[in-house]
Structure 1
Amino acid sequence: MSDTPELVLDARARNGENPLWSVAEQRLYWIDVEAPAIHRFDPASGTDECWRMPSEVGAIALCRSGTLLAALRTGLMRLDLAAGTSELLAPPPYDPLTHRFNSGKCDSNGRFWIGTMFKPLDGRKPDAATEPTPLYVFEAGQLRETGVSAVIANGLDWSLDDRRFYFADSFARRIDRYAFHAGSGQISDPQCFASFPSTGPQPDGAAMDSEGCYWSAQYDGGRVIRFRPDGSIKREIHLPVSEPTMCAFAGPDLRDIYITTASSGLSPERAAREPHAGGLFRLRAPAPGLPAHLADS
């Protein structure tokens, strides 16, 4: 594999996130949380389409119906991008003045798991007194709490056998792994999978490959870590920018890893040193990933 990520789109995103490969379209969806906007990138032509959103978008999921779910600060929406229509499926289960959705992914049964984060409109930052907020699941037209919470939810994914669920709290700098019951969607028995120094990079979005390795973007760490199933580090991929946010497997053989990045957290000095911050990067992986699960909605 190539250890050197290639810049494929100099997007200058404020907070690029949630790369999501559409096998049917052979296109990569991704979001800019703060723009706010949903994008669709065509690797064959290099073109990038953009749909502006009415409020910050924290996560997206593709649906079996051909539509798209978008978790906005103001609620969970179903979007038909081709028709230009939208439908509110659920109001925000939190105070939108202080919180928003952040990071989401579908499981093998079409449930949409959506995390939340403390992100006040007045710009305050989380601190030791900040209460964590729930991780939600959307199924059968309803949002329900899972019993798990985080200050900044991230890193959702599942093991190859569908018996383990991974979930990170970026603020706590910790990735946990839970027992997962695919039939009921219940999670239990949290165990620490990986933890990081309190002043170091934050574990952000993640993706699972076909060898059971968990790829974790390290926000403010300038790298992506490939963890073995036992939690040990197999490989580190360094980027020319410091704020990678999430990775996803894509391409005809699912061996292209796309990495979204951010720029909004950089000081003017760091921004000058990172001219491609907010760009979309790609590298070849040693093993393919898995197709993204589709939402039932």
Structure 2
Amino acid sequence: MRQVDVVQFGDHLCGWGEGLCWDPDTQLLHLVDCLRNVRGETTLDAPDDLRLIPTPTLPTKVLLSDKADRHLIVLDDGIFAMAETADAYGQVADMPQASSGRFNDATVDPAGRIITGNLGLKANTDGSYWSWQGDGGAGNWSTIATKKGNANGPCFSNDGRTLYFADSPTGNILRYDYDPETGTASNETVFANTFELGGGPDGAAIDTDGYLWSALFGGGVIARYAPDGTLDGTIAVPVRNPTDIVFAGPNLDRMIVVSAMEQPTDDREPSPLAGASFEITGAGVTGLPIGKVRL
């Protein structure tokens, strides 16, 4: 991997930054702060002008939709249409009946389905992955996988036929064969395990070469994996807990990373930049656009 630079992006510190989303239509970068129940939006040229908007419950991800005036946000108890005040969010879909715990990370498949899952704190237990397909009304949920630990970093290959999901408690990034026409996933395999790098896989993004970039929570690095699952390289960031990464900008060539707070350990104090956002420059790669939810 070529020489890169990591610079702080804006001066805001999140309690638990997550859920990055780039909107190419408005040229706005969206993020959430899970700890403080707020979402934020800013431009790439003026990141210090981050606008914070309260959410009614814990937010985890902002999603674009095919309705220009109706973007969505994943909250801990359902999918909601975004609003300017905490009491105005309108529910689009509740959680699946078989779910336990809260929603976590999410993405959109090539057909406009929401791909998401819930937070299970133990490996191979109560976590599940699902897809939601809108039908102009309530829509419906379909199960992708069960007995997982945590739903993180869902993303698709260039052709939309490979789905990746990070099961953070196991350290595994999982790979599925995916049918965009039916929304079904099959042939689960372990694409990579990140524990050898000192952290668990969190948010992720795919570049136009088909390589997967994963933020390693606890590991202080962004790891890049080749399409065959081999490690291509890592980029160190000045915080222990990077949580998500997104390709942004008109050409999708600006890489933004968010992070979360840190707890002191016996041999390490929290970084003063814990919770900050960063931009990775010099990587020389571009990303894939994220789809829009079909409502």
Same fold (TM over 0.5): yes
Structure 1, unaligned runs of 5 or more: 119-125
TM-score (norm 1): 0.89
Q: How does 1:247-258 map to 2 (within 5 A)?
A: 247-258=245-256
2:264 is aligned, of 262, 267, 291, to 267
SS at match of 1:231: coil
SS at match of 2:272: coil
Q: Considering only aligned residues, what root-mean-square deviation do their CA atoms show, in Å?
A: 2.4
2:104 is aligned, of 86, 98, 102, to 102
Residue type at the aligned position of 2:142: E
Partner residue in 2 for 1:234: 232
Going from structure 1 to structure 2, the CA distance change for 1:294 and 1:81 (only over 3 Å counts) comes to farther
Is 1:134–1:145's contact at 8 Å kept on the other side of the alignment?
no
Residue type at the aligned position of 1:76: I
1:183-219 C-alpha deviation (Å, 9 max, x unpaired): 1110000111001348941011100000000000000
Partner residue in 2 for 1:189: 187
Partner residue in 2 for 1:42: 43
Is 2:158–2:288's contact at 8 Å kept on the other side of the alignment?
no
Is 2:160–2:178's contact at 8 Å kept on the other side of the alignment?
yes
Partner residue in 1 for 2:61: 59
Is 2:194–2:216's contact at 8 Å kept on the other side of the alignment?
no
Residue type at the aligned position of 1:169: D
Q: Distance in 1 between matches of 2:80 and 2:182?
A: 24
Residue type at the aligned position of 1:29: H
Q: Distance in 2 between matches of 1:270 and 1:276?
A: 18
Is 2:197–2:219's contact at 8 Å kept on the other side of the alignment?
no
Higher RCO (CA-CA < 8 Å; seq separation 6+)? 1
Residue type at the aligned position of 1:136: W
1:158-203 C-alpha deviation (Å, 9 max, x unpaired): 1112211101100111011110001111000011100134894101
Structure 1, 240-249 or 156-165: larger mean CA deviation: 156-165
Q: Distance in 1 between matches of 2:102 and 2:165?
A: 17
After TM superposition, give the deviation of residue 296 of structure 1 in Å. Answer: 1.2
Going from structure 1 to structure 2, the CA distance change for 1:270 and 1:210 (only over 3 Å counts) comes to farther
TM-score (norm 2): 0.90
Partner residue in 2 for 1:6: 7
Q: Distance in 1 between matches of 2:218 and 2:226?
A: 22
Going from structure 1 to structure 2, the CA distance change for 1:287 and 1:152 (only over 3 Å counts) comes to same
After TM superposition, give the deviation of residue 112 of structure 1 in Å. Answer: 1.0
Going from structure 1 to structure 2, the CA distance change for 1:12 and 1:206 (only over 3 Å counts) comes to same
1:75-100 C-alpha deviation (Å, 9 max, x unpaired): 22112449x8421122233699x611
Q: How does 1:106-125 map to 2 (within 5 A)?
A: 106-118=108-120
> How many pairs are equivalent?
287
Is 1:94–1:100's contact at 8 Å kept on the other side of the alignment?
no
